[in-house]
Amino acid sequence: MYEEYEFLKFERRGRILVVTMTNPPLNPMTPKMHNELSRIFTDINRDDETAVVVLTGAEKGFSAGGNIKNMQKRIETQNWANWFEGVNEAKNILRSLLRLEKPLIGRVNGHAMGLGASLAVFCDISFMLETAKIADTHVKVGLVAGDGGSLMWPLLMGHSKAKQYLFTGDVMTGKEAAELGLITHSCATEAELDEKVYSLAERLATGATKAIAWTKMATNMLLIRQLDELIEKHLEMETQSFFTADHKEAVFAMNEKREPKFIGK
């Protein structure tokens, strides 16, 4: 049932389904990958052969998030329809993540930036290489952290520390992220990462899967209610920031490899 996917690859390990974001080396988002992520978790809910899902990235990266060259192209061509399509897909990604009835384990094997960071922190349980880096970098490109970060980071690590990272877009290592509670565990090596991820996945897949799934849904009820109440406003604010001069300046500056000159407009 997954044959149509291009940027997501699949591996079965018994009742464990490994979903790999594939746009190496750092797996940044493409419009097609973004669209596929908006559909995949709904499809997995209909997959009776799968009891546990592992989400990871190809090669040495998890996901670098948005593609700066694509952002500049969208600004230059004034392809606003593409932006609004992406906003609708972002809603579907986050809603379907929280409504996925099977446990979702994040295998964060490399850097997780922007939407990549949101995917990592929306997993039920996350394991991350301690030397990998994670950041919600929206403000660095002049955008509001509207696709999940403004909701999930404060819930996981507390409002004060979350605001510091969301306001600056600063990075932290996997070790720091685990210490702050943003992700569940950090691992010193890739071998340890695999051992921790797949031993837990196997334990859950051979457990009382109905009870585990329903416990997940019970614990996600409040999150789902909060997301449904806030996501429209969060993405509306991100859309407002998309049309600012600062967003345009940030994107062009990054592509030109220079420091942006923000004007607050």
Q: What is the pLDDT of residue 181?
A: 98
Q: Is 129:136 a contact under the CB 8 Å cutoff?
A: no
Does 257 fall in a domain?
Answer: no
> How many Å apart are CA 201 and CA 158, to the nearest integer?
28
pLDDT of residue 48: 96
- Please indicate, yes or no, if residue 265 is contained in any of the structural domains: no
Residue 92 near residue 43 (C-beta atoms within 8 A)? no
Which element (helix H / strand E) includes 17?
strand 16-21
| pLDDT given at position 152 | 97
Answer whether 127's CB lies under 8 Å from 55's CB.
no
Half-sphere exposure of 21 (CA within 13 A, CB side): 34
Structural tokens at position 127: 């394991």
Report the b/e string of 54-66 with b at 16+ CB within 10 A: bbbbbeebbbbbb
- Residue 99 CB neighbour total at 10 angstroms: 14
pLDDT of residue 166: 98
- Quick check: 254 and 261 in contact, CB under 8 A? no
Question: Which pLDDT belongs to residue 73?
Answer: 84
This prediction has a pTM of 0.96
What was the pLDDT predicted at 2? 95
Q: Which residues is 134 bridged to in the sheet? A: 112, 172
Q: How far apart are CA 199 and CA 119, in angstroms?
A: 21
Total number of domains in the chain: 1
In a domain, 213, yes or no: no
Residue-level pLDDT at 67:
81
Residues 6+ apart with CB under 8 A from 245: 263, 265
**Contact of 114 with 137, CB cutoff 8 Å:** yes
**Chain-centre distance for alpha carbon 121:** 7
In a domain, 30, yes or no: yes
Q: Other CB atoms closer than 10 Å to residue 69's CB: what's the count?
A: 12
Residue 224 covered by a domain: no
Contact 137, 169 (CB under 8 A): yes
Is there a domain that residue 210 lies in?
no
What does the pLDDT read at residue 194? 98
Written as tens digits, the pLDDT of the chain (265 aa) is: 899 999 999 999 999 999 999 999 999 999 999 999 999 999 999 999 999 999 999 998 999 988 888 888 888 888 888 899 999 999 999 999 999 999 999 999 999 999 999 999 999 999 999 999 999 999 999 999 999 999 999 999 999 999 999 999 999 999 999 999 999 999 999 999 999 999 999 999 999 999 999 999 999 999 999 999 999 999 999 999 999 999 999 999 999 999 999 999 9
* Residue range of the domain that includes 192: 8-205
In this structure, which long-range contacts are made by residues 186-192, counting pairs with CB atoms below 8 Å and at least 24 apart in sequence? 186/127, 186/128, 186/129, 186/130, 187/127, 187/128, 187/129, 187/130, 188/130, 189/129, 190/109, 190/129
* pLDDT for res 82: 86
Task: Confirm whether 159 is domain-assigned.
Answer: yes
CATH assignment at residue 162? 3.90.226.10
Q: Specify the DSSP class assigned to residue 63.
A: B
* CB burial readout 188-201, b (16+ within 10 A) else e: eeeeebbebbbebb
* Residue at 220 is within a domain: no
pLDDT at 7: 97
The predicted pLDDT at position 78 comes to: 85
- For residue 117, how many C-alpha atoms fall within 13 Å in the half-sphere facing its CB? 30
Q: How far apart are the first and last CA of the chain?
A: 46
pLDDT of residue 123: 98
